[in-house]
Structure 1
Amino acid sequence: MTTLFIVLVVLFAALFILVPLLEKHASKGDAINESRISRWIIPLMAAVLILGILRHYFG
């Protein structure tokens, strides 16, 4: 059980260190790229959901 807590503490520490660091050094994306990507998110999530349901019932 202590191993689990150690792993969780290390993961959260890495999260709190890496996220601000990555946000600081990340390049700014194009609005065109973001709109192109955001257009595909909902259909892809629907496909993943349908495939997960099919896998649950037939897998």
Structure 2
Amino acid sequence: MTTLFIILVVLFATLFLIVPFLEKHASKGDAIDDRKISRWIIPLMALVLVLAIARHYLG
């Protein structure tokens, strides 16, 4: 149980250190790229849902 707490503490400490660093040094994305990606999210989630249902009933 202590190992789990150690892993969680290290994970959150790393996140608190790395996320601000990445936000500061990340390149600014293009809005066109965001629209291209967001167009595919709903169809891909529907496909994942259909495949999960098929896997549940067939396998």
TM exceeding 0.5: yes
- TM-score w.r.t. the length of structure 1 is 0.86
Cα RMSD (Å): 1.1
Runs of 4+ in 1 over 3 A off after TM superposition: none
Give the corresponding residue for 2:11.
Answer: 11
Provide the aligned length of Structure 1 versus Structure 2.
59
Q: Which moved more, 1:45-54 or 1:20-29?
A: 45-54
Which residue of the partner structure matches residue 28 of structure 1?
28
Q: Distance in 1 between matches of 2:14 and 2:56?
A: 34
Question: In the alignment, what sits opposite 1:46?
Answer: 46
**Unmatched runs of 5 consecutive residues or more in structure 2:** none
User: C-alpha separation between the residues in 1 aligned to 2:32 and 2:3?
Assistant: 45
SS of the equivalent of 2:27 reads: coil
